[in-house]
Each structure stands twice: as structure tokens, then as C-alpha cells.
Structure 1
């Protein structure tokens, strides 16, 4: 059997994440979303999104990428929320039977306002 290999990034909230005023946290979240959307536009991110109702609220989101784990680590070192210490990354390879998972090109919100517009 043949397998497809994808790189998965879990975005996690570190236990020592700095507390920020709400307006600063909102600006940082918008910068994180813009960074993520830029990676999508470059064809590097295949799928991404936050978790809701997770048993562990430190686990914030999941990203599936078309790059190596090493490249993913480098890309997320430049994420504003990672640089600020509000998010950490756990990078791993994910193997699925060839053709088992398909990804569609869809727009990614660049801000919380844009994300909320879909509600």
C-alpha cells in the first residue's frame, strides 16, 4: 500500500504564555491569522483551523502543510503569536493511505473580523 505524508502542526498555548490586554491579544490574533492566510496563499498550508470544546484547552489549533517538518518549524518561527510566546508548535508527520485525504483551495480569514463575517 502507498501512503501520502503530510506535516501536521499542533498549535498549543504554553503554560508560561504572557497575559496581554484584550486589545493587544486581538491585534496579535489578527497578525497570526494574516500569517496563516499568507501561508495558504503560497500553497504551503492545506488546511488549518482552531479547536473548540477540546478536553485540553491548551491545544488551540491544527495545521496541515505540504512542506517538510523542518520547513514547517521554520515557517511557524515567523508566526507573530509564536514569536510573542502566546503559541507554541508541535510538529509531526502524518501518514494516510494514498488519496484518503483531499484538500480544497478555500480562502482563509486574515483577521477576526473577516472570520466573524461568515457567521
Structure 2
């Protein structure tokens, strides 16, 4: 059997996030979403989105990439929310049977304001 290999990122909230005022958290969240949107625009992201109803409430989001794990680690070193300690990017390779998973255009939010507009 042949396999496709993707790089996945599990975004988690650390057990000891920094205490920041709500306005700072909002700015960092928007900066994180803008960073993610930039990765999509570059064609690096195959799929992305928040995680809901997780058994562990620290789990925040999941992203599938078309590039190698070391490259992805470098991209998340530049993510504002990761740099600020609000998120941790856990990176791994994911193997699935060849052709088993297909991706089409990846819509992604660039800010929380955009998310609120969808309600």
C-alpha cells in the first residue's frame, strides 16, 4: 500500500498561559488568525480549523500542511500567539493511504471580527 504524508499541527493552550488583559488577548488572537490566513494564501495549508467539544479543553485547533515538519515548526515560531505563550504548536507527520484524503479550497478567518460577522 502507498501512503500520502502530511504535516499536522495540534494547537494547544499551555497549562500556564501568561496573564494578559483581554484587549491584549484579542489582539494576539487576531494576529494569530492573520498569520494562519497568510499561510493559507501561500498555499501551504491543506485544511485548518478550531477544535470543539474536546476531551481536553486545552486543545484549540488543528492544521494540515503540505510541507515538511521542520518547515512548519519554523512557521509557528513566528506565530504571534505562540511567541506570546498563548498557544503551543505540536507538530507531527501524518500518514494516510494514498488518495484517501482530498482537500479543496481552504477558507480561513483572518480575524475574530470576521468570525463574528458569520453569526
TM class by smaller structure:
over 0.9
State the distance in 2 between where 1:106 and 1:23 align. 28
State how 1:6-25 maps to structure 2 within 5 Å: 6-25=6-25
State the distance in 2 between where 1:47 and 1:20 align. 30
TM-score (norm 1): 0.96
State the distance in 2 between where 1:117 and 1:100 align. 34
TM-score (norm 2): 0.96
Residue 61 (str. 1) matches residue 53 (str. 2): no
Q: CA deviation at 1:107?
A: 2.5
Residue 82 (str. 1) matches residue 82 (str. 2): yes
Q: CA deviation at 1:21?
A: 1.3
CA contact (8 A) 2:51 2:59 kept: yes
State the distance in 2 between where 1:32 and 1:8 align. 17
Any gaps of 5 or more consecutive residues in structure 2?
none
Any gaps of 5 or more consecutive residues in structure 1?
none
Give the aligned CA root-mean-square deviation in angstroms.
0.9
Provide runs of 4+ in structure 1 moved above 4 Å. Answer: none
